[in-house]
């Protein structure tokens, strides 16, 4: 029986990934370079602290020179400010509020499992008026290793007091799907504007994939999960 719903944050609750990508694109354009989506896609969902790909280092490599400490800090501040501007007024992703309201009505426990920092996730959830909806929020700085490692999901399961088979994970990226599946959680993928271009295959193959959360109500999703599990047991 499903007793908990665990949400990813970036690209799932709030479309933060496009603003970040656009902000980096604009920085690259200043130097006559192109920031390709193909370079960024494999690292979506990993989180900044564990991400081996540094866009500034890549830009330095292409330019054949190193930025000074002052230049690096200026560019990072510029990117952060531009990202903030692009995020202003960004609504909660389609279907999320309906899922939260239905989950609460059904008595499901709610959690967030994100590779991003707690300051980033909690700050946005508070701004959106959603923070109090969740009984447990686990972020990248709460675990030693972020997605695709399952640590953040295992931490949320422990916090909520539920077993993996009692939860559903909602994810937008292949790295997030890998993390949820490695934790043994039934995973539903709802690709974002960016991650719909990424391959959801092999270990990143979700148990179910939807175009948007509104494509299937939570009650219908729960019925679908029960049906899929029943068919596998035959």
The residues spanned by each domain of the chain are 4-15+92-233, 17-87
Overall fold of domain 4-15+92-233: Rossmann fold (3.40.50)
pLDDT at position 228 is 84
CB atoms within 10 A of CB 212: 12
pLDDT at position 226 is 87
pLDDT at position 23 is 95
Q: Considering the chain, what is the average pLDDT of its residues?
A: 93
Secondary structure of 106-163 in HEC code, one letter for each residue: HCCEEEEECCCCHHHHHHHHHHCCCHHHCCEEECHHHCCCCCCCCHHHHHHHHHHCCC
Q: Which residues are catalytic?
A: 8, 10
Mean pLDDT across 10-18: 94
DSSP 8-state assignment for residue 32 = T
pLDDT at position 230 is 79
For 16-75, how does the pLDDT look when each residue is reduced to its tens digit (9 = 90+)? Answer: 999 999 999 999 999 999 999 998 999 899 876 677 888 999 999 999 999 999 999 999
- Is residue 123 predicted with pLDDT exceeding 70? yes
For 217-232, how does the pLDDT look when each residue is reduced to its tens digit (9 = 90+)? Answer: 999 999 999 888 877 7
pLDDT at position 159 is 97
Mean pLDDT across 87-112: 95
Q: Is the bond into 64 cis (omega within 30 degrees of 0)?
A: no
Looking at per-residue pLDDT, the higher value among 230 and 101 belongs to 101
N- to C-terminal Cα distance for the chain? 18
For 149-177, how does the pLDDT look when each residue is reduced to its tens digit (9 = 90+)? Answer: 999 999 999 999 999 999 999 999 999 99
- Is residue 112 predicted with pLDDT exceeding 70? yes
DSSP 8-state assignment for residue 92 = B
Q: Are 110 and 104 in contact (CB under 8 A)?
A: yes
- Nearest-Å Rg of the Cα atoms of the chain is 18
């Amino acid at each position: 029986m499903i007793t908990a719903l665990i949400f990813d944050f970036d690209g799932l609750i709030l479309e933060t990934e496009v603003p970040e990508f656009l902000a980096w694109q604009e920085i690259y354009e200043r130097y006559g370079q192109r920031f390709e989506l193909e370079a960024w896609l494999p690292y979506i969902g990993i989180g900044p602290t564990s991400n081996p790909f540094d866009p500034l280092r890549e830009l330095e490599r292409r330019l054949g020179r190193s930025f000074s400490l002052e230049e690096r800090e200026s560019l990072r501040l510029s990117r952060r400010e531009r990202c903030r501007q692009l995020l202003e007024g960004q609504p909660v992703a389609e279907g999320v509020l309906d899922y939260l309201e239905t989950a609460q009505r059904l008595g499901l426990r709610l959690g967030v499992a994100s590779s991003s920092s707690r300051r980033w996730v909690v700050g946005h959830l508070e701004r959106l008026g959603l923070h109090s909806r969740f009984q447990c929020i686990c972020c990248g700085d709460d675990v030693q290793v972020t997605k695709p490692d399952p640590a953040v999901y295992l931490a949320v399961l422990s916090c909520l007091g539920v077993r993996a088979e009692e939860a559903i994970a909602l994810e937008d990226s292949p790295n997030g799907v890998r993390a949820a599946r490695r934790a043994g959680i039934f995973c539903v993928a709802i690709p974002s504007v960016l991650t719909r271009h990424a391959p959801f295959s092999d270990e990143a193959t979700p148990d179910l994939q939807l175009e948007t959360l509104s494509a299937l109500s939570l009650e219908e999703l729960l019925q679908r999960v029960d049906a899929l599990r029943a068919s596998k047991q035959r």
